[in-house]
Every structure is written in structure tokens, then in C-alpha cells.
């Protein structure tokens, strides 16, 4: 069937559950909103902000990547991306903080209500996209729309239960993106891996964004810490995967079809990383069948919550709404070569609601957490610190 437009798709997703207005960043809203032609587009922006636009002659750059490459190695930087559709890949290797801001309509108002669940179409005016997918002999990293990693070696994903070799370098200490739609448009159910993100050896957070692909949409790599809030992620097969620590808060996970599980994670042993909490943590979010899902590509229209990419995988679901697209068993073994989920894998769930939130038929290996057992799973507890790279003032 023909694919709906992205605006139609977001309208359908946002109408699925809640009736809400949008939430934005009090810190950046005055920078992000579009200005009259007589006013500088950078009014209200942090000093030194770079303006990118494919159509506005006042812009310093016409592509996001060109703006990124212009930055000095040191000092925090902000890039405002003007309304438009940017076909490119964005690679961030600098270690100093970087914030990408997507331009918003002049009518946008920051208020404490969810953005991802708006009853009007998503107000993001900026799309960054490509059509790359993984071909024979390529590393999965080659397809990513957005890469935040210190270098190519750090971005590589590798194969098998251990992946690419551990690297010594660390990249960006504080990458943020607000109100940008990142899309891999090459992907469909007939194409291989087609990543949207590759965040490795870096700290990165995303606010009011979206990420759209089919297989392997989101990757949090080795030694990476990522936080996604008030956003939408579209995928089909293992579309949240990784090695690092990823927290998804108030985010819609939209199943375009069902292959593998929603989450496929690789754990790391405590000898290599003492006290680590590497894994995927989904909190106060919605898991739904995407409005553009094709029933003929799904397995009875039902999706597993996850499968273990290696036997040290961790995935925790905390207070999420799950619609009827979630399989009653919850989790499955990785494949026929590894037909059993070992007890070194940690799968857990707390306070799930909705038709798919009935845990009575979950696999025996899954931990059904009590309130007391769920209490340690907080942002500070998972990241082993109070993350200074997260914008806790963002309203949602």
C-alpha cells in the first residue's frame, strides 16, 4: 500500500491516545520560533548560534553537516536549523557540547503537556534524512542518518555477541537535539538494516524529536549514554538495539510490523564494566501499532517486547501503556541457534497497562517487579550519576 505522508503519519500517531498540546524547551523556544522577515532568525538564540537554511539567504550554511564541520574543537556550540527537508548524513565527532535546534512555527508556545501526543500534526518543521541501507560487507554504522561518535572506529557496530572491538576514545560529552525529525527513508520491510542513529562513546539527549525507519532504527553503542523524551520512534525489527545505556521517557514506540523484538540489546560483563547498568529502559511510554503498519508484514500483528542480542542483555519496562500489538509472552529467544533465554539476561516489567500490558502469560524468565523492586530504576540509578547532560527543564 502507498506510504502516508509524514505529516499524516504523525497526526495519526499523535491522535492515538491523548488529547494534549505541545511541550517545548523554555530555554530555547524564543530561538526556535520563526521570526518575521524583518527580524533576525537568530533573535533569542544563545550568543554565537549558527543558522542553517537551504532557502534563507541569511543563513551561514545550507546543510547541517557543513555547520557541524565549521565548529572549533572546543567550546559549547548551538546550531539552529531552519525549516526544510535536508537530505544528508550528520556526523558529530567533536567532544565539546553541541545543541541542534529545529525551527518551529511562530505560534509554538512552551507549556507543560506532551508534544509527541499532540492532537494536531507534529509541529516539527525540520526533517533530516537519507536513504542508506546496509549492503553486503558493510558495517551497520554505514547507514546511519545521525552519528555521534569520536571516530569511525568508535562508530562501528560489528557482528556477533561481542560486536566491534572496544575503543579508547570518548566523543561528545553533551549532544542535544530538539524538535528535529530524523528519518531513514530507504527502509521498508524488504530492505536490510537502515539506521537512524549511531550514538557511540558519547552522551546524547533528544527532545520532541522523531526517528523513523524499519530495522535497527535506534542504536546506542558502546560506552554511550542516551536519553529520549517526548518523542516518537518508528520501527519493525529490533528497532531499539545497542550496547550502552538508553532511557526512553514519555516516548511513543510505533510498531510498523513485527520482526525480532522491539528491543535487542547486548550486555557487558561486570568485569569489563564494574557496576554497569547497560541496557534499554522504557518509562512512562506508549507501545502501539503504527498507523502505517501493513498487517501482511506482521506476524499475526503481534510484536515481542524484545529478544537478547547476547546473554547479558538488559531491558526494563516501567509504567508503560501497551496496545494489543504486544505479544502475551513478551520476550523471545534470539533465534534457533540460541533457543533459550538464559538467566544471565535481565528482562523486567513493572506496572504495564493496556491490552498488551497483561503480564499473566509472560515468559517465566521475565521479572515482574514490585514497587520496591522497581524503585532503584531511576535516571540517576541507571546512569550511576545525576546526568548533567540531560535538560531537566524541558516541559512534557
Each residue's pLDDT tens digit, 31-79? 999 999 999 999 999 999 999 999 999 999 999 999 999 999 999 999 9
Instruction: Report if residue 394 sits inside a domain.
Output: no
Residue 133 scores a pLDDT above 90 = yes
pLDDT at residue 396 in the model:
75
Instruction: Report if residue 65 sits inside a domain.
Output: yes
Instruction: Report if residue 133 sits inside a domain.
Output: yes
Instruction: Report if residue 393 sits inside a domain.
Output: no
What value does the mean pLDDT take over residues 270-293? 86
pLDDT at residue 321 in the model:
96
Which of 6-15, 176-185, 372-381 shows the lowest per-residue confidence on average (mean pLDDT)?
6-15
Residue 12 scores a pLDDT above 50 = no
Instruction: Report if residue 1 sits inside a domain.
Output: no
The cell numbers describing 204, all together, are 546524547
Query: How far apart are the C-alpha atoms of 241 and 193, rounded to whole Å?
Result: 11
Contacts of 289 (CB under 8 A, 6+ apart): 254, 255, 301, 323, 324, 325
Instruction: Report if residue 27 sits inside a domain.
Output: yes
Query: How far apart are the C-alpha atoms of 97 and 71, rounded to whole Å?
Result: 11
Phi, psi angle pair for 195, to nearest 5°: -75, 150
Sign of the four-CA dihedral 163, 166, 167, 173: positive
pLDDT at residue 73 in the model:
94
Instruction: Report if residue 250 sits inside a domain.
Output: yes
Range of the domain at 301: 6-383
Instruction: Report if residue 179 sits inside a domain.
Output: yes
Residue 35 and residue 56 in contact, taking contact as beta carbons nearer than 8 Å: no
Residue 19 scores a pLDDT above 50 = no
Residue 350 and residue 376 in contact, taking contact as beta carbons nearer than 8 Å: no
Domains: count for the chain? 1
Phi, psi angle pair for 166, to nearest 5°: -60, 135
Residue 21 scores a pLDDT above 60 = no
Which of 7-21, 256-270, 292-306 shows the lowest per-residue confidence on average (mean pLDDT)?
7-21
Which of 120-124, 142-146, 182-186 shows the lowest per-residue confidence on average (mean pLDDT)?
120-124
Which CATH number does the domain housing residue 379 bear? Answer: 2.160.20.10
Residue 325 scores a pLDDT above 50 = yes
What radius of gyration, in Å, describes the C-alpha atoms of the chain?
20
What value does the mean pLDDT take over residues 187-210? 88
pLDDT at residue 14 in the model:
41
Using CA atoms, how far residue 122 sits from 15, 100, 232, in Å, is: 10, 18, 10
pTM of the complete model: 0.92
Amino acid at each position: 500500500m502507498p506510504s502516508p505522508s509524514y505529516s499524516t503519519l504523525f497526526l495519526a500517531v499523535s491522535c492515538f491516545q491523548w488529547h494534549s498540546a505541545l511541550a517545548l524547551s523554555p530555554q530555547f523556544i524564543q530561538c526556535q520560533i520563526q521570526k518575521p522577515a524583518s527580524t533576525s532568525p537568530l533573535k533569542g538564540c544563545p550568543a554565537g548560534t549558527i543558522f542553517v537554511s537551504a532557502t534563507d539567504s541569511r543563513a551561514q550554511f545550507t546543510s547541517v553537516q557543513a555547520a557541524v564541520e565549521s565548529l572549533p574543537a572546543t567550546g559549547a556550540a548551538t546550531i539552529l536549523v531552519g525549516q526544510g527537508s535536508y537530505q544528508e548524513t550528520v556526523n558529530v565527532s567533536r567532544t565539546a557540547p553541541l545543541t541542534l535546534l529545529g525551527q518551529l512555527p511562530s505560534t509554538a508556545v512552551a507549556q507543560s503537556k506532551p508534544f509527541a501526543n499532540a492532537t494536531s500534526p507534529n509541529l516539527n518543521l525540520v526533517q533530516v534524512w537519507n536513504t542508506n541501507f546496509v549492503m553486503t560487507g558493510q558495517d551497520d554504522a554505514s547507514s546511519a542518518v545521525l552519528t555521534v561518535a569520536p571516530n569511525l572506529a568508535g562508530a562501528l557496530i560489528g557482528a556477533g555477541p561481542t560486536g566491534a572491538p572496544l575503543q579508547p576514545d570518548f566523543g561528545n560529552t553533551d549532544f542535544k537535539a530538539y524538535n528535529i525529525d530524523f528519518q531513514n527513508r530507504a527502509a521498508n520491510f524488504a530492505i536490510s538494516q537502515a539506521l537512524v542513529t549511531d550514538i557511540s562513546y558519547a552522551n546524547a539527549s533528544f527532545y520532541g524529536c522523531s526517528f523513523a525507519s524499519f530495522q535497527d532504527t535506534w542504536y546506542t553503542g558502546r560506552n554511550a549514554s542516551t536519553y529520549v523524551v517526548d518523542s516518537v520512534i518508528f520501527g519493525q525489527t529490533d528497532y531499539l538495539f545497542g550496547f550502552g545505556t538508553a532511557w526512553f521517557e514519555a516516548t511513543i514506540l510505533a510498531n510498523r510490523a513485527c520482526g525480532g523484538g522491539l528491543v535487542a540489546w547486548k550486555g557487558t560483563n561486570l568485569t569489563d564494566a564494574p557496576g554497569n547498568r547497560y541496557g534499554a529502559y522504557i518509562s512512562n511510554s506508549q507501545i502501539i501499532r503504527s498507523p502505517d503498519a501493513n498487517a501482511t508484514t506482521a506476524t499475526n500483528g503481534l510484536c515481542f517486547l524484545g529478544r537478547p542480542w547476547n546473554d547479558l542483555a538488559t531491558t526494563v519496562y516501567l509504567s508503560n501503556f501497551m496496545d494489543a500489538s504486544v505479544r502475551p509472552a513478551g520476550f523471545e529467544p534470539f533465534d534457533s541457534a540460541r533457543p533459550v533465554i538464559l538467566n544471565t539476561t535481565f528482562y523486567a516489567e513493572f506496572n504495564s497497562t493496556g491490552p498488551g500490558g497483561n503480564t499473566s502469560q509472560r515468559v517465566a524468565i521475565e521479572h515482574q517487579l514490585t514497587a520496591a523492586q522497581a524503585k532503584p530504576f531511576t535516571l540517576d540509578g541507571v546512569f550511576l550519576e545525576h546526568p548533567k547532560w540531560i535538560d531537566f527543564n524541558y516541559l512534557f
